């Protein structure tokens, strides 16, 4: 048993490093560091040669949602803030109806609690005329949305 211990360790408990293996590891580490340093320098020089690219929009046709600001209230849904328009006699706002025409123009209307579907349709058609079939379909859709939000549907 004592003979097996003698060949593993030197006196004092240190490993025998006389074989030169550590020297090879250190040499490889130095060579790797030099290579990485050369690659970084080459990359830095290559970047400096390129002309600056002109910024262009990533997706010009992609629509971006921008929430509307709540002008009538202080952002809490409570009483109107000072300087805001007076309370609307048609009741509270239910939703904003946006209609996009064939030419791409968007018409927006605020629909209130006291509005009727026919009145909303008439106001929209005053801004952008619609065919009778589209007018009836819009009136039905507004009626569905109103009843859903009023809790009667």
**96 - beta bridge partners?**
110
Tell me phi and psi for residue 60, to 5 degrees: -65, -25
Run of H or E including 131: none
- pTM, two decimals, is 0.42
Provide CB contacts within 8 A for 145, sequence distance 6+.
94, 95, 97, 111
Q: What is the pLDDT of residue 54?
A: 65
Q: Which residues of the chain have pLDDT under 70?
A: 1-13, 15-18, 46-62, 70-88, 152-153
Fill in the DSSP letter of residue 104. S
Q: What is the pLDDT of residue 121?
A: 92
Q: How far apart are CA 14 and CA 12, in angstroms?
A: 6
Q: What is the pLDDT of residue 74?
A: 46
Q: What is the pLDDT of residue 135?
A: 92
Q: How far apart are CA 18 and CA 9, in angstroms?
A: 12
pLDDT, one tens digit per residue, over 136-145 is 999 999 999 8
Q: For each of the domains in the chain, give its residue range(s) and CATH number, in order of start.
A: 93-150 (3.10.20)
**Token pair of 12, please?**
């004092």
């Amino acid at each position: 048993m004592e003979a097996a211990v003698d060949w593993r360790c030197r006196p004092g408990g240190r490993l025998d490093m006389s074989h030169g293996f550590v020297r090879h590891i250190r040499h490889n580490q130095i060579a790797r560091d030099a290579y990485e340093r050369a690659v970084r320098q080459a990359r830095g020089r290559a970047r400096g040669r390129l002309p600056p690219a002109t910024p262009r929009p990533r997706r010009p046709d992609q629509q971006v949602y921008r929430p509307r600001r709540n002008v009538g209230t202080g952002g809490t849904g409570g009483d109107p803030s000072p300087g805001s328009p007076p309370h609307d006699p048609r009741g509270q706002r239910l939703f904003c109806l946006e209609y996009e025409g064939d030419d791409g123009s968007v018409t927006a209307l605020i629909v209130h609690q006291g509005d009727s579907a026919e009145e909303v349709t008439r106001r929209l058609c005053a801004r952008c005329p619609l065919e009778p079939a589209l007018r009836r379909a819009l009136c039905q859709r507004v009626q569905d949305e109103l009843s859903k939000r009023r809790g009667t549907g």
